[in-house]
Amino acid sequence: MDWLKIVSALMLVAMMFMLYPSLKHATKNSPDASKEDWLSVIKPLVFVVVFVIALIILVR
């Protein structure tokens, strides 16, 4: 294994350990999502999926 891959893996693990307290605090103190919040997330995701499918169909 190359030394660069080993250093990159160690840095990734270190970053995960450093971000864990912030993630724990954010999930503990975040507001509850309402139905309107979920719909505002789902609509753009559906649009992107349909757009990508249309692009795939056009390329064929």
- Write out pLDDT tens, residues 15-50: 999 999 999 999 999 888 888 999 999 999 999 999
pLDDT score of 1 more than 80:
no
- Please determine, for residue 14, whether its predicted confidence score (pLDDT) is greater than 80: yes
Structural domain range at position 50 = 3-59
Overall pTM surpassing 0.85 (yes/no): no
Helix (H, G, I), strand (E, B) or coil at 45: helix
Task: Report the number of distinct structural domains present in the chain.
Answer: 1
DSSP type of residue 43: H
Distances in Å between the Cα of 58 and the Cα atoms of 28, 47, 48, 53 are 45, 16, 15, 9
Would you state the structure tokens that stand for residue 10, as one six-digit string? 């160690």
Residue with tokens 């450093």: 18
